[in-house]
Structure 1
Amino acid sequence: MVGVSLGSRPWAEWIYARASYFVLLGLLGAWAWVSWRWLERRGESLPALARRHWRALACGVATASFVFVSVPPRLRVLSDETNLLGVAQSFALEKTAYNPTMAKRYYGQMQVVGRSIEKRALLYPFLVHIAHVLTGYRWRNGFGVNFVLLALLAAGLFGVVAARSGELAAAAAVILVATYPIVSLCAASSDAWLLHAALFGLLLASLAAFLRSPDEDSLALLWAQALVFAHTRYEAVLPAAVVLAAAAWRSPIRREHFVRHWWLYAATPLLLAPLAVQRVLTFGDYQNPPGVAPFSWAHLLQFGWRLVLAQFKLYDRLVPHAIALNWVAAGCLAWWGYAWSRGTAVFEAAWQRRWAAACVAAVAAHTVLHLSYYFGDYAFPTSARTVLPLAIAAALAPVAFHVRFPERLPAGRLLALALLSGLLYHPIAVGAWHTQSLELIRETDAYQRFVLARGDEHALYIYSRPGQITVLGYGAVDFGWANGHAGELFHEYRRRLYSDVIAVQRIAYATGAPLPDDQLDPRFQLDALSEVQIAAERTLRISRVRPLP
Structure 2
Amino acid sequence: MGCGFMEERLYMRSFPLYDRRLWLLAASCLLALVLGCLALPVDWALRAVMGGGYWFSFCTLGLWIWVIWDWIAHASNGFELRRALPLAPMALVLCVGLVWQAQETHGFKVLADESLLLGTSQGLHMDRQVGYPVRATDVQGPFQILQAVLDKRPFFYPFLVSLVHDLTGYRSTNPFWLNTLLSFVFLGGLYAVGCKVGGKKEGGVLLVLLAGGLPLLAQQATGGGFELLNLTLATGWWWLVMRYLESPDNRSQDALVLTSVLLASTRYESVLFLVPTALVLALAWWREGRVVFRWPTWVAPLLLLPMFWLNRAFSANHRLWEMQSLGADSPFALKYFTSNLGHALAYFFSFDGYQPNSPFLAFLGLLALPIFFLWGQRVLRACASADGTELGLVVGALGPLAVTGLMMIYFWGQFDHPVIHRLSLPTQLLMLVAIAAVTGKVLKLPQRGWSWLLALAIISLACWSLPVMAKNAYGRDYSPGVAMAWRREFLAQRPERDFLMLDRDSTFWITERVAATPVLQAMERKTGLIFHLRNHSFSAMYVFQTFDVEPETGVLKILPEDDLGPDFELEPITEKRVQTLRLSRFSRIVSIREGGEVVSRQDFIRPVPQGVMKPSEQEAAKRAYLDRWVKELP
- Give your verdict on TM over 0.5: yes
Q: For 1:90-129, what aligned pairs fall within 5 Å after superposition?
A: 90-129=123-162
Give the counterpart letter for 1:235 in structure 2.
E
Identify the residue that residue 319 of structure 1 maps to in structure 2.
355
Identify the residue that residue 427 of structure 2 maps to in structure 1.
390
Aligned partner of residue 267 in structure 1, secondary structure: helix
Identify the residue that residue 485 of structure 2 maps to in structure 1.
445
Give the counterpart letter for 1:417 in structure 2.
L
Give the counterpart letter for 1:213 in structure 2.
S
CA distance, structure 2, for counterparts of residue 193 and residue 397 of structure 1: 21
CA distance, structure 1, for counterparts of residue 509 and residue 141 of structure 2: 16
Percent identity between matched residues is 23
Cα pair distance change 1:292/1:509, threshold 3 Å? same
1:496 has 2:532 as partner: no
Identify the residue that residue 255 of structure 2 maps to in structure 1.
221
Aligned partner of residue 118 in structure 1, secondary structure: coil
1:479 has 2:532 as partner: no
1:162-214 alpha-carbon deviations (Å, 9 max, x no partner): 68766555433312112212222222211111111111111111111110001
Identify the residue that residue 581 of structure 2 maps to in structure 1.
537
Q: For 1:259-298, what aligned pairs fall within 5 Å after superposition?
A: 261-262=294-295, 264-283=296-315, 284=318, 285-289=320-324, 292-298=329-335
CA distance, structure 2, for counterparts of residue 240 and residue 430 of structure 1: 39
Cα pair distance change 1:253/1:27, threshold 3 Å? farther
Residue number among 161, 169, 184 corresponding to 1:151 in the alignment: 184
* Contact 1:177–1:396 (Cα < 8 Å) also in 2: no
Residue number among 387, 394, 401 corresponding to 1:350 in the alignment: 387
Give the counterpart letter for 1:92 in structure 2.
H
CA distance, structure 2, for counterparts of residue 165 and residue 64 of structure 1: 24
Cα pair distance change 1:350/1:294, threshold 3 Å? same
Identify the residue that residue 344 of structure 2 maps to in structure 1.
307
Residue number among 413, 419, 432 corresponding to 2:458 in the alignment: 419
Aligned partner of residue 321 in structure 2, secondary structure: coil
Residue number among 397, 407, 413 corresponding to 1:376 in the alignment: 413
Structure 1 residue ranges without an equivalent (≥5) = none
Cα pair distance change 1:45/1:473, threshold 3 Å? farther
Aligned partner of residue 25 in structure 1, secondary structure: helix
1:314-363 alpha-carbon deviations (Å, 9 max, x no partner): 623122221232212333456667899999xx999522332232133222
Aligned partner of residue 503 in structure 1, secondary structure: strand
Aligned partner of residue 527 in structure 1, secondary structure: strand
Cα offset, 1:507, TM superposition: 2.9
Cα pair distance change 1:314/1:518, threshold 3 Å? closer
CA distance, structure 2, for counterparts of residue 335 and residue 507 of structure 1: 51
CA distance, structure 2, for counterparts of residue 339 and residue 276 of structure 1: 36
Structure 2 residue ranges without an equivalent (≥5) = 1-31, 591-599, 603-634
CA distance, structure 2, for counterparts of residue 335 and residue 408 of structure 1: 21
1:210-238 alpha-carbon deviations (Å, 9 max, x no partner): 10001222222211111111111111111
CA distance, structure 2, for counterparts of residue 489 and residue 7 of structure 1: 40
CA distance, structure 1, for counterparts of residue 289 and residue 530 of structure 2: 70
Cα pair distance change 1:237/1:532, threshold 3 Å? same
Residue number among 224, 227, 236 corresponding to 1:190 in the alignment: 224
Cα pair distance change 1:409/1:282, threshold 3 Å? farther
Residue number among 511, 514, 536 corresponding to 2:558 in the alignment: 514
1:468-517 alpha-carbon deviations (Å, 9 max, x no partner): 22223322111122222222223234433322111111234344463332
Cα pair distance change 1:397/1:8, threshold 3 Å? closer
* Contact 2:354–2:474 (Cα < 8 Å) also in 1: yes
Cα pair distance change 1:21/1:57, threshold 3 Å? farther
Cα offset, 1:459, TM superposition: 1.2
Aligned partner of residue 109 in structure 1, secondary structure: coil
1:390-412 alpha-carbon deviations (Å, 9 max, x no partner): 21332344444443423175332
- RMSD (Å) for aligned C-alpha atoms: 3.1
Cα pair distance change 1:467/1:409, threshold 3 Å? farther
Residue number among 167, 172, 183 corresponding to 2:206 in the alignment: 172
Cα pair distance change 1:134/1:212, threshold 3 Å? same
Residue number among 109, 115, 138 corresponding to 1:76 in the alignment: 109
Q: For 1:25-36, what aligned pairs fall within 5 Å after superposition?
A: 25-36=58-69
* Contact 1:105–1:458 (Cα < 8 Å) also in 2: no
Identify the residue that residue 203 of structure 1 maps to in structure 2.
237
Give the counterpart letter for 2:570 in structure 1.
L
Cα offset, 1:155, TM superposition: 2.2
CA distance, structure 1, for counterparts of residue 142 and residue 288 of structure 2: 54
Give the counterpart letter for 2:314 in structure 1.
T
Cα pair distance change 1:181/1:487, threshold 3 Å? same
Q: Which moved more, 1:36-45 or 1:361-370?
A: 36-45
Aligned partner of residue 100 in structure 1, secondary structure: strand
CA distance, structure 1, for counterparts of residue 71 and residue 378 of structure 2: 39
Cα offset, 1:52, TM superposition: 6.0
Cα offset, 1:253, TM superposition: 5.8
Cα pair distance change 1:363/1:10, threshold 3 Å? closer
Cα offset, 1:148, TM superposition: 0.9
Give the counterpart letter for 1:447 in structure 2.
R
Give the counterpart letter for 1:419 in structure 2.
I
Cα offset, 1:279, TM superposition: 0.7
CA distance, structure 2, for counterparts of residue 226 and residue 481 of structure 1: 40
CA distance, structure 2, for counterparts of residue 25 and residue 392 of structure 1: 28
Give the counterpart letter for 1:443 in structure 2.
A
* Contact 1:36–1:45 (Cα < 8 Å) also in 2: no
Aligned partner of residue 148 in structure 1, secondary structure: helix
1:40 has 2:76 as partner: no
Identify the residue that residue 429 of structure 1 maps to in structure 2.
469
Aligned partner of residue 373 in structure 1, secondary structure: coil
Cα offset, 1:161, TM superposition: 4.6
Give the counterpart letter for 2:452 in structure 1.
R
* Contact 1:182–1:384 (Cα < 8 Å) also in 2: yes
Cα pair distance change 1:16/1:52, threshold 3 Å? closer
Cα pair distance change 1:52/1:5, threshold 3 Å? closer
Cα pair distance change 1:514/1:274, threshold 3 Å? same
1:331 has 2:331 as partner: no
CA distance, structure 1, for counterparts of residue 140 and residue 77 of structure 2: 51
